[in-house]
Structure 1
């Protein structure tokens, strides 16, 4: 019977794994389709508002739709766009305002992956209107939020557990990045390093499947080419590594500076604005339009301008002007209530800073500095790493966006030093600072928590009566109902621990139409699953995490060898501990 029970457990685990794969495929396909629709919206609105495919490279050209306005149309375009997306965001999804990634990080870390389903539609429309009308922001924040909302919506429809919900959100984020930038590896590491903030094996596999699926869908629409077409660069002199190392420090500081300017401008806009929030993007759009009238290269994302800078088509003074202009244009776009990402602007800033650095180096040490454009390319990744402190993502993103492998070594060196510089200059990243300003600290220690000094042994209960693995499912259902618990331990006839069986699993098995067919679960052991291990010496905070991701209402406490249950822990036990440690509210004391 032991072999039968083991086979049942393997079969059930296999079914669960195939279910995860199916969900990842669906989310990836949905994110890929969403990326196609989103890019089409951006192109459509850009042509509508500017009359050009990308106005950032059109100089001070007029809009052919309103030629009598000449270049002055850019003064009104952001205001008109804001008049459209401002009420949309205010009425239907206020979390669609801003750059999007912090909201997804918050949903994954503290809300169980729950994101309102309307966010995908509102974010797509608002961001496309913002960028199409001149907003100087990027696509990665919106597409991450769009894909994540799709994953969360699917999880809510299927009522998956919270751990699976978080995984589906990460799958959506990875799929969105992969499809819109033709960068499957970048999508995976962006989701794991920034959204999930861990590299668990099961999550990694699902995220990879989603990213690959989205990339296939995206390549069917956009083709299989690198997102940025740049000339090949090579390191020709060993002394260049010293220059690239110095560039890493400089670009990392630029990334931190961008973060501070972004939130400084946002604070200034909050201080200055006293009207209704839905009108704020339209009124603030006039200020943005004035900046675009002076510096039209700031219109939209600005990838053509970035490419021209790396190819050496701008003088040093103009590179610095573009750097400062982009920093304030993006900050103003976000500050007035615009919707868009900060990843592309950070790449833009890095390209300007890096190319300017390379220009200076070429004049100081012309014999060994090498090609100026290589510094611009490395600066892109270093600036993002300094702002976001995601070195793995930065390396992979730059490699996939450009297809340029020849300078991977100096790129890695500069990105690591930029990350260290960012950590030295700022506690927060460009993403986490937005949450900290709301009182949310994703990296906060738990030293001040009532659970910090408590252990599982302090609150664990007596072990409930175990169910034998050979017990028929109908009898197991009766035993679970009489116990008053949502889960019970399962053992073999000789007392060996098999895992935990939940009331939900038994109910689903008994209600299945194929319950009487060969291979269907027939005994408690067939449905037993081994949850996260909890031991008496484990901190209570860690046990709480295990309880949150478990299906049932409790978990067995295993001995130090993790092979035999010695107690039981529940949510109620931890709540009682919290209640005993918490101060009495004033309104109760009165």
Structure 2
């Protein structure tokens, strides 16, 4: 070998050793994971700035608004633009979707779904798909926010970095949560909101171990967004530092009304989507019709367009008659329902904040008519914004911190906490889903939160079974069976028919205790119709064991009933308990995963 070639080989080996050492350090060091989360947050802050800038540029170009204006707050958009841009935008989104499906035929995996089912595994291609779809949808005026794209980008980037360092399942889930925390923190200029969004929605639990990387990412992303002057969804208002205790019963009532209204909105999206799908099979026509409906509603008020940032700012600082507030709530709700149901990509995060703020202000206005002067309209707007947002998004503490970071008022945060608790309780008891998990439910996914249930699906009968069970022919004479399988040689024996198919299970002790006139061993067969399939997960298998009252069950290949193995209930319970303990320790942070 030539000298340059040898040097090249030595250099390559040295680089490999360094890479392996670095991966080992990150996998075993809590500080390294925090640093990795900080890097993720900084990158997500740049992405949030870029996505927000792209959507704003589309608003300027397509709707002709002034550079410093927000689309939902302007009143000078030409009527032909209001109607034409969303319709043609829907057609353009359909074309983009077709191109993206050729490149990425599988539907994107949401960060919540990834953490619940796939151990935090996401792809950057999913982030790119969702990001492009949300930018186009928001840019053409559909009543959706960019927060879904932000969260997807943050989670995808975090998952990719975690995979490069071969992080354990628990650490990868936390890092994905940290990525979404940075995304939401940068989007709203609110790091605490981003952090608790991640805890409540993406990680599914709070622990000391997950606190440091999540907070590091949220703070880093927010600081980068501020340096870039992203100004994405930052919500600003001035609220009183002291509130009357008499406002607490009103806050509880606003919370209850917000919970009921949120259920109506979420069910309305599902019913609208079902109706449109049945009436219009073509996705292109559905998107164009959705754009036409949004444009028509924008003719009534531009509050129907885009996420509604400018409209929310106006809701905080302007006096609005009760009738107009009710009209704005109806317009925004219908626009959001139609946008999501027709196929535009995006979230209801910011739309729910706007609808809730308008609802709280309407509540204050009605009380002012009944018993002047009524409660502070701004305070009720903040309470309604947070309560309705918590009911739709499913993150009560995140919404509480959003109110705190918006106003800087602990007194208002106390009112908000009471309202979001009531709203969340009503949705939980009467509906059982947030908007994200409701969408998963409609797709057939059994996801109620981001708690890790993917390991249960991975823990299957096929993985746990013993692959070499003792077998015997069901037609074997009982005396011959006793000689072939003496006591102590096995506990259970699988019986097979003439075709080699499963014919039941027999206890060796019972076979040796049976009277001579029994005949063949097949007469003692049990559990002929109680079997497991290789893909039966641990939870379903435990239910089958309980229903069969069996100590062991045979795993067969399906209709052919070919025996693959034998699984005992004791082994299943032991392995399930070990996995539960492992996940508990991962979530608590008291031991590496």
**Same-fold status (TM-score > 0.5):** yes
From 249, 261, 285, give the equivalent of 2:256: 249
Q: What's the counterpart of residue 25 of structure 1? A: 38
1:26-425 to 2 correspondences below 5 Å: 26-52=39-65, 53-59=69-75, 61-62=76-77, 70-92=78-100, 103-222=110-229, 227-233=234-240, 236-275=243-282, 277=283, 280-366=286-372, 369-425=374-430
1:340-385 deviations in Å (ceiling 9; x for gaps) = 1111011111111111101111222325x33122111110001112
C-alpha distance 13-130 of structure 1, shift in aligned 2 (>3 A): closer
Q: Is the 8 A contact 1:113 1:166 kept in 2?
A: yes
Matched, 1:431 2:447: no
C-alpha distance 225-257 of structure 1, shift in aligned 2 (>3 A): closer
- Give how far 1:234 is off: 5.4
Distance 2:25 2:55 in 1: 45
Distance 1:255 1:209 in 2: 32
Q: Is the 8 A contact 1:90 1:278 kept in 2?
A: no
Q: Secondary structure at the match of 1:431?
A: helix
Q: Secondary structure at the match of 2:110?
A: helix
Distance 2:232 2:299 in 1: 33
Number of residue pairs the alignment of both structures matches? 454
Give me the TM-score of the superposition, normalised by structure 1.
0.69
Q: Secondary structure at the match of 1:229?
A: coil
C-alpha distance 542-273 of structure 1, shift in aligned 2 (>3 A): farther
Q: Is the 8 A contact 2:45 2:220 kept in 1?
A: yes
- Give how far 1:280 is off: 4.0
- Give how far 1:547 is off: 6.5
- Give how far 1:96 is off: 10
C-alpha distance 73-200 of structure 1, shift in aligned 2 (>3 A): same
- Give how far 1:241 is off: 1.8
Q: What's the counterpart of residue 482 of structure 1? A: none
C-alpha distance 222-54 of structure 1, shift in aligned 2 (>3 A): same
Distance 1:94 1:182 in 2: 36
- Give how far 1:439 is off: 1.8
Q: Is the 8 A contact 1:251 1:379 kept in 2?
A: yes
C-alpha distance 273-207 of structure 1, shift in aligned 2 (>3 A): same
Moved over 4 A (4+): 11-15, 93-97, 223-226, 449-452, 535-539, 545-551
